[in-house]
Amino acid sequence: MRFMLLKMSPRTGPSDLHEEAQFVRSLHAAGVLLSADLLEPPTIGARVEWPSGMPQVHPRWPREMQREIVRYWVIDAKSLAEAVEWAKRCPCTETEAIEVRQILEPGAHRPLRKPMARH
Amino acid sequence: MAGRDTARAEAIGAVEAVWRIESARVIAGLARIVNDVGLAEDLAQDALVAALEQWPAQGIPRRPGAWLMAIGKNRAIDRIRRDQLLTKKQEEIGRDLQPRQFAPDDEMDAALDEDFGDDILRLMFVACHPVLSREARVALTLRLLGGLSTGEIARAFLSSEATVAQRIVRAKRTLAEAKVPFELPSREDIPSRLASVLEVLYLVFNEGYAATAGDDWIRPELCNEALRLGRTLAALTPDEPEVHGLVALMAIQASRLAARTDPSGEPVLLLDQDRSRWDHTLIQHGLAALDRAEAAGHAFGPYALQAAIAACHARARRADETDWVRIVALYDALAQVMPSPIVELNRAVAVSMAFGPAEGLDAVEALSAEPALQAYHLLPAVRGDLLLKLGRRDEARNEFLRAASLAGNARERAFLEARAAESV
């Protein structure tokens, strides 16, 4: 199963990149890391909305949320519990959070796999 | 009550998740201390039992890996003390061994992290040691590095739990009797020892790949496990081109898992597959791994060459965009490093795609005397296919019927008989 770990941060200060690099190295060494990306701040992005059915582009949108996605990792884990365990290993401050989301299996009409059970 | 049961089930799920992440590191760390992989695994299992007893009630410790390691170390000391009790007098022991219990702390964490990569590598080499049978290497690798239980391994390999348990016990004993040290192979042994590790990973992968739709979910899970271990190995040995080659091969093959059967479970041939259902994340990973193989070595080995062939298919957006000329060249190279009649037969198919059925048929005819292919149903099947394309229908029909008579399973036999009927 694939999971996306989304790091949410209020961007009050730079997080500890050294510790985070260590976290990413451990994902890599465990063979579970599928991709890792840092995101530029929203000022470099844009938001497209459809308030009246027509697309409207906001190059810089007002910050509505306390926390924004600052980076994400895609990992291969056997279960949600394993993905959560990895998320717990990510260095975070008190104001940051990791959202763990499962990615739908690509191109599959296979039945959903049952969660890992140890006899 | 129900709430408490749910909480307990969740806690056990969390213990299993920690075990999946930490078990190989803990076993490897303990093996470095006791210099016996079998004993290290027993100690780690003791630690797992302790965790299953304590964590659901007390919560998961902040450093679960260090906690498991500390329990394992304490059990190791208990055993040493017990063994010494058998040989030494009571008073001598009191002097020699002060009761010193390890507690999980930062120091333990550091011990886990320090060189743990090399420990994992040692563990891989020992689990795939040449003193062990191939089946034992596979079972031990999944047990020590995949954190799979004996029951899971048994189900994955359609074997009984007792058989697998015995296989693992015997493998551990063989390693102990042969006094296999917990060390990396010497420089001159690395190529052959690495080949053994790669072979085991590819065996695990193919066992999962061979599983059909109705099989237990754990069988296809073997593909993921082999891929994960392959990526770990590649992270630890970044300069070995064949490691990247195998990762690339497995990733590209696995990318077709969902597309290779239709909704009713019938197999779909590569060229007929719906390419939008290929897993493009895995394809990207495979192609990137192939680039790393290329960067790491001047000449491709068998795995990288097979990956390069698979990559030709992965890169083609439509089947008719496949670069068959390049595939023929890659098969030529593969036949050099891994001479095999099956490779030659695949090459003949590629020749027919690149240069036409007449050229392909010449290449197949050159193989017709090959003793290893006499009972192989795909030789007449390929010949029948090429004859049909050349309009030689009667000959084609005979070849398909011959192929059907040699086919190993009912589904293939039916497919070939249908092709024979179409040829008339």
B36-56 pLDDT, tens digit per residue, is 999 999 999 999 999 999 998
Q: Is residue B100 part of a domain?
A: yes
Nearest to B127 by CA among B78, B54, B47, B185: B185
Q: Which of B116, B228, B280 sits opposite A32 (nearest CB)?
A: B228
B324: nearest Cα among B353, B346, B345, B349: B353
Where b means 16+ CB within 10 Å and e means fewer, B126-138 reads bbbbeebeeebbb
Where helices occur in B145-240 by DSSP H, the ranges are: 150-156, 161-177, 190-209, 218-236
Q: How far apart are the first and last CA of chain A?
A: 20
Contact A109 B17 (CB under 8 A): no
Which among B104, B18, B23 is positioned nearest to B56, based on CA atoms? B18
> What was the pLDDT predicted at B129?
96
Question: What was the pLDDT predicted at B97?
Answer: 46
Determine the longest span between alpha carbons in chain B, in angstroms. 94
For residue B154, give the nearest of B171, B142, B172, B169 by alpha carbon. Answer: B142
Does residue B259 carry a pLDDT above 60?
yes
Nearest residue on chain A to B115, alpha-carbon basis = A29
Residue B48 lies in a domain: yes
Place B7 in a pLDDT band, splitting at 50, 70 and 90. Answer: confident
Instruction: Give the three-state DSSP class for B211.
Output: coil
The alpha carbon dihedral of B271, B209, B138, B126 has a sign of positive
- Residue A82 to residue B227, Cβ atoms within 8 A: no
Instruction: Provide the 8-state DSSP code for A35.
Output: E
Chain A residues 54-83 within an 8 A CB cutoff of chain B: 74, 76, 78-79, 81-82
B43: containing domain: 1-114
Structure tokens at B340: 């095999």
Q: What is the pLDDT of residues B94-140, one digit of tens each?
A: 444 444 444 555 555 554 555 668 899 999 999 999 999 999 999 99
Closest CA to B45 of B70, B11, B68: B68
- State the pLDDT confidence band at A60, using cuts at 50, 70 and 90: low
A31 vs B152: CB contact, 8 Å cut-off? no
B365 lies in some domain = no
Q: Is residue A109 part of a domain?
A: no
Residue-number span of the structural domain to which A89 is assigned? 2-103
Give the range among A57-61, B390-394, B414-418 with minimum mean pLDDT: A57-61
Give the rounded percent of residues in chain B with a pLDDT score beyond 70: 91
Q: How far apart are CA B244 and CA B13, in angstroms?
A: 33
- CB–CB of A118 and B278 under 8 A? no
The answer to whether residue A119 is domain-embedded is: no
**Structure tokens, B75:** 């059990």
The residues on B that touch A, with CB distances below 8 Å, are 10, 13-14, 16-18, 20-21, 116-117, 120, 149, 151-152, 213, 217, 221, 224, 227-233, 235-236, 258-259, 263, 274, 276-281, 285
Here the CATH number for the domain that contains residue A63 is 3.30.70.1060
Is position B149 within any domain? Answer: no
Residue B386 Cα to chain centre, angstroms? 35
Averaged confidence pLDDT in chain B: 89
Helices B190-209 and B116-127: crossing angle in degrees, nearest 10, is 80
Name residue A72's beta-bridge partners: A6, A37
Could you give the CA distance from residue B190 to residue B366 in angstroms, rounded to a whole number?
38
Question: How many structural domains comprise chain B?
Answer: 1
**A16 located within any domain:** yes
Residue B50 CB partners (closer than 8 Å, separation 6+): B71
Short-list B24, B74, B9, CA closest to B47? B74
pLDDT value of position B266: 78
Which residue in the block uniquely carries the two structure tokens 């391994």? B153
pLDDT tens, residue by residue, A63-106: 666 688 889 999 999 999 999 999 999 999 888 899 999 998 76
Is A50 part of a structural domain of the chain? yes
- The helix/strand/coil state of B177 is helix
Distance CA A90, CA B106 (A): 17
Q: What is the DSSP letter of B391?
A: T
pLDDT tens-digit readout, B188-199: 999 999 999 999
Measured CA to CA, the distance from residue B397 to residue A109 in angstroms comes to 35
- Sign for the pseudo-dihedral over CA of B359, B365, B371, B374: positive
CA neighbours within 13 Å on the CB side: how many for A19? 8
Comparing A28 with B117, the larger pLDDT belongs to A28
Of A2, A32, A107, the CB nearest to B259: A107
Alpha carbon distance A84, B227 (integer Å): 21
Do B37 and B31 form a contact (C-beta atoms < 8 A)? yes
Token pair belonging to B309: 């062939």
Query: How open is the CA angle B68-B71-B77, to the nearest 5 degrees?
Result: 140
Give the number of domains in chain A: 1
pLDDT digits (tens, 9 = 90+) for B278-320: 999 999 999 999 999 999 977 899 999 999 999 999 999 999 9
Angle of helix B218-236 versus helix B241-254 axis, rounded to 10: 150
Q: How far is A107 from chain B (nearest CA, A)?
A: 4
Give pTM, 2 decimals: 0.86
- Residue B327's Cβ-side half-sphere holds a number of Cα atoms within 13 Å equal to 25
Which residue of chain B has the CA closest to A32? Answer: B228
**Residue B301, helix vs strand vs coil:** coil
CA distance B382 to B267: 17
What 3-state DSSP class applies to B170? helix
CB of A108 within 8 Å of any CB in chain B? Answer: yes
User: What is the layout of strands, in order, in the sheet containing A2-9?
Assistant: A33-38, A68-76, A2-9, A97-103
Calculated CA dihedral for residues B110, B224, B320, B379, nearest 10 degrees: 120
User: In the prediction, which pLDDT does A85 show?
Assistant: 94
